[in-house]
């Protein structure tokens, strides 16, 4: 297997059903809180073996109310995500298919009228 194929496999692209983007600060939250959330997300994704890709970002240009978690293709933006909140998002939304409505700050699945 080539290095590229290994990277694509490691990213989980072929089987992914969702893609999680996480802003870990530094302006929307304390970077230590963001890093703690990121480590928790990695751990829980690994433990549950849900078919998601995950990407750590340094800024979504909101810069307040973080850490932020965006779930695509749903286009759901959760703010103020803690490890405890992520656990509920994991159970209800990522596994159960029901977004946690009270924590949704914004929603845009980026679909155009043609798609």
Kindly list the residues in this chain that would bind ligand FES in the complex (CB under 6 A). 23, 25-28, 59-63, 66, 68
Q: How far apart are CA 99 and CA 15, in angstroms?
A: 21
Output the smallest distance, CB 49 to ligand FES, in A.
28
Of 74, 16, 21, 78, nearest to 49 by C-alpha is 16
Minimum distance, C-beta of residue 67 to ligand FES, in the bound complex (Å): 7
Least distance in Å: CB of 4 to ligand FES?
A: 30
3-state SS assignment for residue 84:
helix
Which residue lies nearer to ligand FES by CB, 12 or 26?
A: 26
Task: Tell me whether residue 46 or residue 61 sits nearer to ligand FES (CB atom).
Answer: 61
- Which of residues 68 and 89 has its CB atom nearest to ligand FES in the complex? 68
Q: Which residue is nearest to ligand FES (CB)?
A: 28
Q: Residue by residue, what is the 3-state secondary structure of 9-54?
A: HHHCCCCCCEEEEEECCCCCCCHHHHHHHHHHHHHHHHHHCCCEEE
């Amino acid at each position: 297997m080539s290095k590229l194929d290994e990277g694509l496999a490691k990213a989980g692209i072929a089987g992914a059903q969702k893609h999680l983007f996480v802003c870990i600060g530094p302006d929307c939250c304390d970077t230590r809180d963001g890093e703690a959330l990121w480590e928790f997300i990695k751990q829980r994704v690994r433990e549950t073996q849900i078919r998601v890709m995950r990407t750590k970002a340094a800024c979504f240009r909101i810069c307040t109310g973080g850490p932020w978690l965006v779930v695509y293709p749903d286009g759901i933006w959760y703010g103020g995500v803690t490890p405890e909140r992520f656990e509920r998002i994991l159970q209800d939304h990522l596994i159960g298919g029901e977004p946690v409505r009270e924590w949704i700050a914004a929603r845009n699945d980026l679909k155009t009228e043609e798609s």
